[in-house]
Amino acid sequence: MPLTRRDFAKRSAVAGAGVALTGSVGVLATAPGAIGQEAPEAKAPAPAAGARGRAPGYGPLIPDPAGILALPAGFSYRIITRAGVTKLETGESTPSHHDGTAAFQGPRGTTLLVNNHELKGPRARWPHPVPLADGLVYDPAAAGGCTVVEISRDGSHVSERVGIAGTSTNCAGGRTPWGTWLTCEETEDKAGQNGMTKDHGYVFEVDPHDIRAARAPRPVKALGRYAHEAVVVDPKRGHLYLTEDADRPNGLLYRWTPPHGFQHGRGRLRTLADDAGVLAAPRCFDSGGRFVDDLSRATKTGTVYGVDWIEVPDRDARTTPVRKQFGDRDVTRARKLEGMWWADGGAYVVSSYARAESPVRHDGQVWFYDPRRRTLTLKVLLGVNPDPGRDGAFDGPDNITVSPYGGLIIAEDGEGVQHLFGATDDGRTYPIARNDLNLGTADDPAYSEFTGPVFSPDGRTLFANLQEPGIMLAITGPWRRQR
């Protein structure tokens, strides 16, 4: 049943200027460079006496003598894999361009990490593509895929194998409640385009625990063919939410509703018919019932939009890309829809930035979709960073995770200096790490984005990647609750 504008307006009137917020993260204003102010009705509760005696985070970042990762005092890192340096079990080099990552509890106390490799187009373009492992290849012309990394309990042993190969531009993705990984292709290449021999732009399921389950890879076409970024699963309702990183026009957030009677589980998605369930895009409206064409319109944290869902006409995009199948007044768009994470009963969704292709410019948003209320609430808003080369300002949020120590951990994919940074429940931000690996020159430095932040199952280790050249890092230290 659609959430009507009248229903939403009544609900908003009851709640005040906005629908009551849910989730532990609350409203996260950002600094420096924040635009707008949090809505008065959405202010975080006042801290207890003495609570402001300690600033959020872990103190200033200390430059790394090895020139890789700056961390606060007391923290350290280890390199887990490095493209062209570390080796797979079969002897080939670790593939490059690390991206989305998930952590799983492995056998005998090990940790399993599934790591995407964002390699677009033909294999000859890349020095270190994902090896074409026997039985795990979708399209032998494609360079991307993902690997499965296993780390022993004490960290003394690391092994790596192919999870899937022959896919393209494997960007983010998402973990499922049943313990598998959904790897997403951020491309719309069809067979015959860009050297490909099969259509691309799909989601594939990878089981980190059972290599046999990934044999003869089959795309989950029911989830659509477009420039996929990330996916999360609603464990209660069975819905999947997916982001699209595309423009001209801006991309969309999608919701897939399973067919009646379908039960999720390991390997079940690949059994679906290509047109199973319903794939839909959002149509948002404000508390006054006015249609919202683009999420960049929100200029204050605490902004709440109601959401209806409009079915996609042709999810496989045989003649027209999915996002172009809707008119300007049909759906709500957003630029650079990137990382997602399911927590607090809903989905955290990132819009990395907005420029001239959007109604309002910004350098990053994080939204929270509440499926029970069918609302999107703006949690984080970054103003346009006037000096990206200056350390201390954050821009371009991308991959995201919810921290076991409170708040969010966000990977920066902006301009200039690149960070992992946190955002606390009461609206303050703090640095966790800085990429010190200069890929440019002293006069013209260049730093790769961070990708794939995720905590180990026991919460003691934060894993993250430097996408270029492709380095997986394990960060440990005196983690503590951020209040």
Tell me how far apart the alpha carbons of residues 245 and 254 are, in angstroms, rounded to a whole number.
12
The residue written with tokens 């494997």 in the block is 170
Residue 479's pLDDT band (cuts 50, 70, 90):
very high
Q: Tell me what pLDDT residue 1 has.
A: 52
Q: Tell me what pLDDT residue 429 has.
A: 84
Residues in CB range of 339: below 8 A, 6 or more apart: 100, 172, 229, 230, 243, 350, 397, 398, 399, 400, 411
Instruction: Over range 226-250, report the average pLDDT.
Output: 97
pLDDT tens digits for range 55-98? 889 999 999 999 999 999 999 999 999 999 999 999 999 999 99
pLDDT above 80: residue 42: no
pLDDT above 50: residue 174: yes
Percent of the chain at pLDDT > 90 equals 81
The residue written with tokens 């493209």 in the block is 83
Q: How many distinct structural domains can be found in the chain?
A: 1
For residue 48, is it within any domain?
no
Position 132, amino acid: L
For residue 302, is it within any domain?
yes
The structure's pTM equals 0.90
Instruction: Over range 416-427, report the average pLDDT.
Output: 86
For residue 395, is it within any domain?
yes
Tell me how far apart the alpha carbons of residues 432 and 444 are, in angstroms, rounded to a whole number.
24
Q: Is the dihedral of CA 83, 87, 89, 91 positive or negative?
A: positive
Does residue 177 have a cis peptide bond before it, meaning omega lies within 30 degrees of 0? no
- What are the CA-CA distances from residue 59 to residues 3, 38, 308 (Å)? 45, 26, 43
Q: Which residues of 305-344 are buried (b: 16+ CB within 10 A; e: fewer)?
A: bbbbbeebeebbbeeebbbebbeeeebbbbbbbbbbbbbe
Q: Is the dihedral of CA 423, 37, 353, 330 positive or negative?
A: positive
Residue 30's pLDDT band (cuts 50, 70, 90):
very low
Q: Tell me what pLDDT residue 156 has.
A: 86
Instruction: Over range 164-188, report the average pLDDT.
Output: 97
Answer yes or no: are the C-beta atoms of 409 and 442 closer than 8 Å.
Answer: no
The domain that holds 72 is classified in CATH as 2.120.10.30
Q: Tell me what pLDDT residue 385 has.
A: 87
Of the ranges 35-44, 239-248, 250-259, 465-474, which one carries the lowest mean pLDDT score? 35-44
Instruction: Over range 283-294, report the average pLDDT.
Output: 97
Tell me how far apart the alpha carbons of residues 252 and 389 are, in angstroms, rounded to a whole number.
30
Q: Tell me what pLDDT residue 427 has.
A: 63
pLDDT above 70: residue 119: yes
pLDDT above 90: residue 136: yes
Q: In angstroms, how far is CA 265 from the centroid of its own chain?
A: 22
Tell me how far apart the alpha carbons of residues 443 and 446 are, in angstroms, rounded to a whole number.
10
The residue written with tokens 């894993």 in the block is 463
Residue 24's pLDDT band (cuts 50, 70, 90):
very low
Q: Classify strands 408-412 and 346-351 as parallel, antiparallel or unpaired.
A: unpaired
In 10 A of CB 252, how many CB atoms? Answer: 24
pLDDT tens digits for range 377-416? 999 999 898 888 888 789 999 999 999 999 999 999 988 8
Q: Whole domain around residue 404: which residue ranges?
A: 5-42+55-476
In 10 A of CB 2, how many CB atoms? Answer: 12
Tell me how far apart the alpha carbons of residues 167 and 161 are, in angstroms, rounded to a whole number.
16
- One-character DSSP codes across 170-239: B--BEE-TTS-EEEEBB--PPTTSTT-SS----EEEE-TT-GGGGSS----GGG-SSBEEEEEE-TTT--
For residue 481, is it within any domain?
no
What is the average pLDDT score of the chain? 89
Residue 29's pLDDT band (cuts 50, 70, 90):
very low
| Tokens encoding 412 | 């920066």
For residue 195, is it within any domain?
yes
For residue 47, is it within any domain?
no
For residue 309, is it within any domain?
yes
pLDDT tens digits for range 318-343? 999 999 999 999 999 999 999 999 99
- Find the helix or strand (DSSP H, E) in which 5 lies: helix 5-15
Which segments of 286-374 are extended strands (E)? Answer: 291-292, 304-311, 337-343, 346-351, 365-370
For residue 143, is it within any domain?
yes
Which segments of 61-157 are extended strands (E)? Answer: 61-62, 69-72, 76-82, 98-105, 111-117, 144-151
